[in-house]
Chains A and B, each alone.
Chain A
Amino acid sequence: MNKPMRDTRAKTKLRLVDCDIHPAQKSPATLFPYLESRWVEHLKTFGTFTRQALVGQLSYPRMTANGMRIDAKPEEGPPGSSLQLMQEQHLDRLGIEQGHLVALGRGGMEERNPDLSAAMSRAVNDWQVAEWLEPEPRLRGGIVVPQDNPEAAVAEIARRADDPRFVQVIMSTRPNEPLGDRKYWPIYRAIAEAGLPLCLHPAGYSSGKPSTGTGWPSFYFQEHYTFVPGSEALVTSLVISGALEAVPDLRIAIIEGGFSWAPALGWRMDRHFDTFRAEVPHLTMKPSDYMRRHFWWATQPMEEPKNGRHVQDVIDWIGWDRILYSSDYPHWDYDDPDFIFKFPLDTWQREAVFGGNARALYGGRA
């Protein structure tokens, strides 16, 4: 067994990049200053309209404090809505050099009205700049786009791409069509041209399709798991549809979708590629080659096998240059960097996972 290498840098502080922090709006009115009055009136009258039963709420209640860390609630507003608490409790405590905001919910991604969806995405991006990126230089933004209104999504990317504080583009993982659908390819071209990665982060809002291929589960215990196959299906779709052949320089970060399934999915696609090759002549490489060329993977929620070394086998397949530390602050399944690896890492592995890989992926922007 290899002992972790000791070198003098082991003692130097990690330059930590956290690839998953969730800022929250204090209330739906938080976005109003960033919306035209037409849409403020619309939201006051009709609210948002998504493909699910409840307005602004999920029909799978979360296990703990509405899905949040119990200790992350500020005096006022929901967890994640106070920059000050985020600084004290997370950025300062861990000594984070850079943190990436993933603004889920109320960003219009799953909104059915295409114009409202575009207006909300724009507003949520302006809100990120004004209330998070301006006051806290350690934070970086993610451009939220209304992916089911592709023209507006492309326009929103163009509007933000020159602002170096935005490090990536965020699309819903529960869009109207599988993400490999050609409808989305113009968005991928715009993302690649802007030199930005695409971030795919599961969200609980419904796409109108059941959360499993065999219907709706009953318990949150089960719904929580559906994020794994949900993310697997997105990668499968992006690879097999040929989207990555069409946009060969698209780089994609799977955030909170898990990573430990990557080898099994790569093997499975490769195994059956032979059988189905004639159906997908647009693929010029093995499916796992597309996975290796296009995808990066965030750590949280870290797997906890009885033998921690099994995680090492998985990362060895994926590549240590493709794993990104993420905390998921302030959500309940938060990961502290000191606790996630149950086996010794070499110094270069630590530096890569906790910052180096993110800096490489996000270029000058991280």
Chain B
Amino acid sequence: MTRHVVARVDDFPDRAIRRVEVAGKALCLMRRGEAFFALADRCPHGGAPLSGGRFTGTVESDGPGSYRMCRMDEMLKCPWHGWEFDIRTGQSWSDPGSTRTRAFATENVEGQELVKGPYVAETVPVSVDGRYVVVDLG
């Protein structure tokens, strides 16, 4: 278990989607409210950086002409062909059988807690008086 500090919470606005590089891995880091989500930043379909995408939901339907917006902002739309990925699991809704992108566990941690370790802070210096986004690269 390797915990990597990838951002200061205060520097990461709500609803932001950004690419962060950590331990040689490119991640698509997303914030919704106090929760952070991280996916591998490469769309398994055609290679797009997912961090260029947008939040979306899923649309359900009872039949032609019926539209129900569901799970608003729980999906990420790939910037190229628009496939939808679950921000929690990386599961694709456009090709549910066979396509998913890797999802990583994230935490929103007090600097005080964090300094007790173990953690790796490659690019984000950690101090006790802040909150940090920590990603577990497994």
Query: Could you tell me which A residues sit within 8 Å of B by CB distance?
Result: 63-65, 69-72, 332-336, 338-339
Contact A339 B54 (CB under 8 A): no
A-binding segment of B42-50, B109-117, B118-126, B128-136: B42-50
Total of A-B residue pairs, C-beta within 8 Å: 40
CB within 8 Å of A: which B1-59 residues: 45-49, 52-54
A227 smallest CB distance to B (angstroms): 16
CB within 8 Å of A: which B74-122 residues: 77, 79-82
Contact A339 B47 (CB under 8 A): yes
Which residues does chain A contribute within 8 Å of B81, judged by CB atoms?
64, 332-334
Given contacts A70-B53, A71-B53, A339-B47, contact A334 B82 (CB under 8 A): no
Q: Which of A65, A71, A339 contacts B46 (CB 8 A)?
A: A339
Contact B80 A333 (CB under 8 A): yes
Q: How far is the CA of A69 from the CA of B80 in the complex (A)?
A: 5
Which residues does chain B contribute within 8 Å of A64, judged by CB atoms?
77, 79, 81-82
Closest 7 CB pairs of A and B: A71-B52, A70-B79, A71-B79, A336-B47, A64-B82, A339-B46, A339-B47
Which residues does chain A contribute within 8 Å of B48, judged by CB atoms?
69, 71, 334, 336
Q: Who on chain A is nearest to B54 by CB?
A: A70
Given contacts A63-B82, A64-B82, A332-B82, contact A70 B77 (CB under 8 A): yes
Q: How far is the CA of A332 from the CA of B46 in the complex (A)?
A: 12
Contact B49 A71 (CB under 8 A): yes
- 15 example contacts (A-B, Cβ-Cβ < 8 A) are as follows A64-B79, A64-B81, A69-B48, A69-B79, A70-B77, A71-B48, A71-B49, A71-B53, A71-B79, A72-B79, A332-B80, A332-B81, A333-B80, A334-B80, A336-B48
B46 smallest CB distance to A (angstroms): 5
Which residues does chain A contribute within 8 Å of B77, judged by CB atoms?
64, 70
A219 smallest CB distance to B (angstroms): 10
Which residues does chain A contribute within 8 Å of B46, judged by CB atoms?
334-336, 339
